[in-house]
Amino acid sequence: MAQQKTRIVLALGGNALQADSKDTRAESQLVTAKETAKPIVDLIQEGHEVIIAHGNGPQVGQMIATYETAAQANANIPVMPFPECGAMSQGYIGYHLQQAIRQEMIARGMEKNVATIVTQVVVDKSDPGFRNPTKPVGSFFTEEDAKKLMAEKGYTMKEDAGRGWRRVVASPEPIDVVEAPIVKTLVEAGHVVITVGGGGVPVINTGKGVLEGVPAVIDKDFASEKIAEMLDADYLIILTAVEKVAIHFNSPQQKELDTMTVKEAQQYIGEGHFAPGSMLPKVKAALKFVESKDGRRALITSLEKAKEGIAGKTGTVLTK
């Protein structure tokens, strides 16, 4: 498989952008991006078509918190709307990845263009996620300030594990990627594309093709799966902090999995082996991709092992 040219959607986990979760400086992220670029360029150098997706949780949270803190100090400073913060984070993270990947390719004597597409992802305004927002974003507030924000701005605020009150937003399912045709054109022209950053900017269709941004967070694994389907990718590679998926995780019975069929994955999900918000969405996204068309494969592994995983030497491979 490693010698065959394949179209790969690579979904980067948070550890690929921030080596230290407490160090959120832009300079540190760029340093991490340069290390992240090496295994990505390994795949490009082998002749694969690589489309890169990524998360944005810490970055977009920091942006929102910065605006909220400034607005608390000065009432004349407006809070930046959530969709705009998502778009800003796509550009900021994409810029770092573009720089890092381009620099690594130049060092290897490779000539390819790298582009970031600010990507809008369509969601259904009737998605049940909007009725029960659960994704915490931004700063912590006192109960008094939280109730004020709910009254003045219509935010949904919830108490967060005794640490204070935070705004929560919906996490709807992606149903379409607006810029998919542009991404496909660039990929087929031989360029490296970064897309659906942070799951994409969530938009709803208000009628006659008019799109409107909504305050929500689309899971980047599900958005990666959607763009992988739309681009007719051969492989969806979901990168995380571990080399293989495990059942009975963190127990004496822990067992790492080399492969999972659709039936096995469904069984493990039913038995509650995968944590919500962690491994569960990764397995569900991988499952959806391999079910979407015969011959498609999904791989869950660490960034450093991606090349070996495609060669069948490690990682957890999901097949139909």
Catalytic site positions: 14-15, 135, 220, 282
| 141/138 Cα distance (integer angstroms) | 10
What is the token pair recorded at 100?
A: 């890092």
Q: Which residue, among 35, 196, 45, has the nearest Cα to 108 in the 3D structure? A: 45
Cα–Cα distances in angstroms (integers) from residue 64 to residues 88, 215, 261, in the given order: 11, 12, 40
| 9/54 Cα distance (integer angstroms) | 10
| 238/224 Cα distance (integer angstroms) | 9
Question: Alpha helices, DSSP H only, in the chain?
Answer: 26-45, 57-73, 82-107, 143-153, 180-188, 220-230, 262-270, 279-292, 306-310
Distant-in-sequence, close-in-space partners of 16: CB < 8 Å, separation ≥ 6? 32, 36, 54, 239, 303
| 171/174 Cα distance (integer angstroms) | 9
| 200/178 Cα distance (integer angstroms) | 10
Residue in this structure with the two tokens 């995780």, named with its chain if needed: 249
**The residue type at 243:** E
Q: Are 272 and 209 in contact (CB under 8 A)?
A: no
**The residue type at 303:** L
